[in-house]
Every structure is written in C-alpha cells, then in structure tokens.
Structure 1
Amino acid sequence: MYLTEANVADITKKQYKYKMNAYLNALTAMIAVQIAALSLSLMGVGSMGAHSENISLSAKLFSSNLVIGFTMIWGLYIGVTMTTRVYRNCDFTFVTNRLTSNVSNILFLITASVIGGVTSMLSGMLLRVGMYFYYDHQFIINEVITLGQLFNGTFVAILYILLLASVGYFVGTLSQLHSMIKIVLPILIFGGLFLGAGNDGIAAAAIQFYIGETTLYLFILKVILTSIALFIASLFVSNRLEVR
C-alpha cells in the first residue's frame, strides 16, 4: 500500500515538473497579455473633469486592475486549455492514470496562478514608472502602498486567478462528456452574465458573492472552498470519462 502511494506521488511530481517545462508557452502568453494590458493602462482606466469660467480641470485614474483582469481571463482560458486533447496527450509520456494527471494539472494551475498574481501586482510598480516618464511627474498624485497592502493585494489577485482557473478546468472537463456541452455551457454562462447584469439574477448574485465580500478571511475561505470543490468535481467527471 505504501509503495503504491509513493509511486503515485513520484509520478505526480514528475508530471508536474514536466508540465512546468512543457507549458512555458502558456506562461509566456500570460506575460504578453499583461504587457498588452499594461500598455492600455498607460492611457488611464478612468477619468473625470470639472469646468468653470476660467478654470478647466481634468484627471485620469491609473491602476493595475486592467492587468489583473486580463490575467484572470488568461487563467480561465488556460484552465479550459489544460483539458483539451493536445494537453491530455502529453501525459502519455509517463505511466499515468486520471488521478496523477489531474493532480499534476491542478498543481500547475496553482503555480501559474501564483506567478500571474505576483507579476500582475508588480506591474502596478512598472505602471508608476511609466507614468513618471510618460506624463509630467509634477502633476502626478501617488497613493502610497504599504508592504502589507501589497502582500494582501497580491494574495487576493492570486485567489481570483485560481478561482477562474478552477472554473475553466471544471468547464473544460465537463465539456468532454458530450460534444454539445461545449456549445451549451458557454451560452448558459455568458447568457447568465448578460441577463443577470444590473439585477438580482443568479449570475450577478454569484459574482457579488465573491467581489462583494469585504472581510479578507471570509473571501479567502470562499475562494479556496469553491476552487477545491470545482477541482474535486473535475476529478469525478474525469473518472466518469475513464469508465466510458
């Protein structure tokens, strides 16, 4: 029994290391997405102005929220992509089963989420440097960020990316049950988002359940439990595919 468990752990570790090297293109794509979002952020993510007879005042708001948002979308995409046939065939390099394959995929997604969260938050520092050279620094009002705020912001960004990655992984795994699910699921998800926007629909309530949480510890608990539940559900669906 202990020998079997050791073999499973060893195979999972080897698969994880292999995927970290083999899927570098996914991480490269993430950096490219962040650079694109950072370039757009230099134009400002919001603006306001005021006018009077002799005075005209305008202000632009700059933040790394756009970079974090783009990275979250990337997390959703890579979660789905990990379940495609091309990525699944990479597991044939090893003596493997559904368990070790899924666990190594989940470990990769967790690692990618950490990298994405850290780099997206650090992009805020690059944005400040870019603003200093692109705009007249005499008219830039900087908000001081403490080390604690930076740490909390990075951790929250990691959790958001992981949440979207787990959603993508579950949706991708579920879509393997039947080809029609690949069509029906996106319609239901995006349809629910559009129909639920601005009212008390299910999609709006689900989004508010996370972004509306003001207590950090409760937010962490919600995201971690949801991600674990989605990954476990993906394992069960994957086992169903193996039986078929």
Structure 2
Amino acid sequence: MSFIDMSLSDIVKRQYEFKLRAFLGVFTSMVGIQLISILFSLSGVYSVGTGTSTGVSITVSYFSADMIIIFTIIWIFITSVLITTKAFRYDDFTFVANRLSSNMANILFLLTASLIGGASAVLSGFLLKVITFFFGDIVYGTGNSLMEAPAEFFMGMTAVILYMILFASLGYLAGIIVQLHSVFIFLLPAVAIGLGIFFGIRNEGEMGKRLFDFIFSEPSLVTFVIKILVLSAISFTAAVFLSNRMEVRN
C-alpha cells in the first residue's frame, strides 16, 4: 500500500506522458496519410486553360494543402474514436486512475495530436510546392505563404488546428457513444445521414447552408475561435459525462 497522496493533476500528467509514448504509432500513421494526400494533390486542386489561334496555350493550375487538411481531419476523427475503445482504455489500468483522469489525459492527447496534425498539414503545403516546382512543368508560381503573407498564413494555420480540435471532440464523443452500446455503430451514421438530408432539403437547403456558414464561413477570427472552442468543449464535456455510464473493467 502506498502512502503517497497523488493529486489529480499528477495522475493526469503521468497518464498523458504515457499516452504520448505509447501512441507514437498514431503520429506515424498521420505522416503516411499526409504523404498519400500529397500524391493526390500533385495534379492540382483544379486547373483552367486557354489557347489562341497562333497555337499558344496557357494552363493555370491551383495547388493547395486542402486535400492534405481533409485527410488529416479524417485521421484525427478516426484516432479520437479509436482512443475510446477497450484496448486503449485498459491501458489506463496500469495507473491508479479514475474515469475523470483518464478522460482528461485523453483530451490532452487529442489536443496535442490536433496541434501537431493541423500544423503539419498546413506546412505540408510547402513540400507540395517544392515537389511541383522541381518535378512538374510549373513555369511561374505564386501564392500566400509565410514570407509573402505571414498574418494570413498563421490565421490559416490557427483555423486548421481549431478544426482539428472540433473534429477530435466529435470523434471522441462518437466513440464514447458507440462504447455504450454496439447498436450505435449503425445508428450514429444513420442519424448523421438523416440530418444531412433533412438540413439539405429543409427550405431548399437553407438550413444546411446556415449551419455550414455558422461553422465554416465565419469572417471574424475572434468569433470563429469562440465558436469552435465552445462547440469542442460541449462535445468533450458530453463525452466525459456519458463515459461515467460505461461499465467497469471485468
């Protein structure tokens, strides 16, 4: 029996450090997914061209990290779901812990993964530009980069990291719900598709457009940050509350 009285913060810190070491494979998979998404982006997001009667033609191709960001968002969502499974939860029993400390350590890990994933996804755009410049037929290139527009660059990176946090919280909530009962494996996708159809046809898609604009088209950075943080906090809090209804380890 130990006479050391450990505080909640000490337990969370140890669990968090353990998860960073134990889940290194998660970040390895992130690198692989981002490399694959770079390959998909080599042909450009879209291109337009024009020609003249003299045989001169000009093609303008648009390259961006959009595909990389989308793939990374899918990665953080899946990671958030997987971290709620029994195989991952039982790792916490190597510590003197409770549900609260386990959830807090998981959330800290997901916030770290969101930060790394979001930053690396945006920075991968530089690698994409380098590859297309040296191995493509690019004659002239321009765009908003760190050196050309640092303010816009860091605002964009902040937005991507916040989206990672939002989808991490949604994935964590979805994973906890699925762990409550296996029926939700089929029920949650059905509900998501049903809501998508409902918002899509309601008032000729007006509700869906308002919801999309509310999350993805906020012009004010401060308001956008508040929205995403509040939505993420609600999702994480709901996940913590629901996890208390889960059975203990057999």
Scaled by the length of structure 2, what TM-score is found?
0.89
CA distance in 1, matches of 2:61, 2:179: 46
2:132 is matched by which residue type in structure 1?
A: M
2:214 is matched by which residue type in structure 1?
A: F
Contact 2:49 2:60 in 1 (8 A): yes
CA distance in 2, matches of 1:194, 1:32: 33
CA distance in 1, matches of 2:234, 2:144: 37
Of 101-110 and 36-45, the range deviating more from structure 2 = 36-45
Question: Counterparts in 2 of 1:94-109, with a 5 A limit?
Answer: 94-109=95-110
Whether 1:50 aligns to 2:42 is no
Describe the shift of the 1:203–1:107 C-alpha distance in structure 2 as closer, same or farther (beyond 3 A). Answer: farther
Of 142-151 and 230-239, the range deviating more from structure 2 = 142-151
Whether 1:118 aligns to 2:113 is no
Offset, 1:128: 1.4
1:207 aligns to what? Answer: 212
2:163 aligns to what? Answer: 160
Whether 1:169 aligns to 2:172 is yes
1:37 aligns to what? Answer: 37
Contact 1:163 1:223 in 2 (8 A): yes
Whether 1:234 aligns to 2:235 is no
Offset, 1:20: 0.4
Contact 1:48 1:59 in 2 (8 A): yes
Between the aligned residues of both structures, percent identity stands at: 38
Question: What number of residue pairs does the alignment pair up?
Answer: 240
Instruction: Specify the SS of the correspondent of 1:121.
Output: helix
CA distance in 2, matches of 1:163, 1:93: 29
CA distance in 2, matches of 1:33, 1:129: 19
Instruction: Specify the SS of the correspondent of 1:47.
Output: strand
Describe the shift of the 1:91–1:209 C-alpha distance in structure 2 as closer, same or farther (beyond 3 A). Answer: same
Alpha-carbon RMSD across the aligned residues, in angstroms, is 2.1
Cα displacement string for residues 78-121 of structure 1 (whole angstroms, at most 9, x for unaligned residues): 11111111111111111111000000000000000000011011
1:224 aligns to what? Answer: 229
1:181 is matched by which residue type in structure 2?
A: F
CA distance in 2, matches of 1:236, 1:105: 14
CA distance in 2, matches of 1:49, 1:195: 38
CA distance in 2, matches of 1:129, 1:122: 12
Offset, 1:182: 1.5
Offset, 1:132: 1.2
Instruction: Specify the SS of the correspondent of 1:175.
Output: helix
Question: Counterparts in 2 of 1:67-146, with a 5 A limit?
Answer: 67-137=68-138, 139-145=139-145, 146=149
Whether 1:179 aligns to 2:185 is no
Contact 2:11 2:97 in 1 (8 A): yes
Contact 2:83 2:89 in 1 (8 A): yes
Describe the shift of the 1:207–1:142 C-alpha distance in structure 2 as closer, same or farther (beyond 3 A). Answer: same
Instruction: Specify the SS of the correspondent of 1:66.
Output: helix
Instruction: Specify the SS of the correspondent of 1:200.
Output: helix
CA distance in 1, matches of 2:8, 2:207: 40
Contact 1:26 1:78 in 2 (8 A): yes
1:161 is matched by which residue type in structure 2?
A: M
2:28 aligns to what? Answer: 28
Scaled by the length of structure 1, what TM-score is found?
0.91
Where structure 2 has 5 or more consecutive residues not aligned to the other structure, the ranges are: none
Contact 1:98 1:242 in 2 (8 A): no
CA distance in 2, matches of 1:58, 1:143: 16
1:63 aligns to what? Answer: 64
Where structure 1 has 5 or more consecutive residues not aligned to the other structure, the ranges are: none
Contact 1:192 1:203 in 2 (8 A): no
Contact 1:193 1:204 in 2 (8 A): no
Q: Match for 1:148 among 151, 154, 169?
A: 151
Describe the shift of the 1:191–1:28 C-alpha distance in structure 2 as closer, same or farther (beyond 3 A). Answer: farther
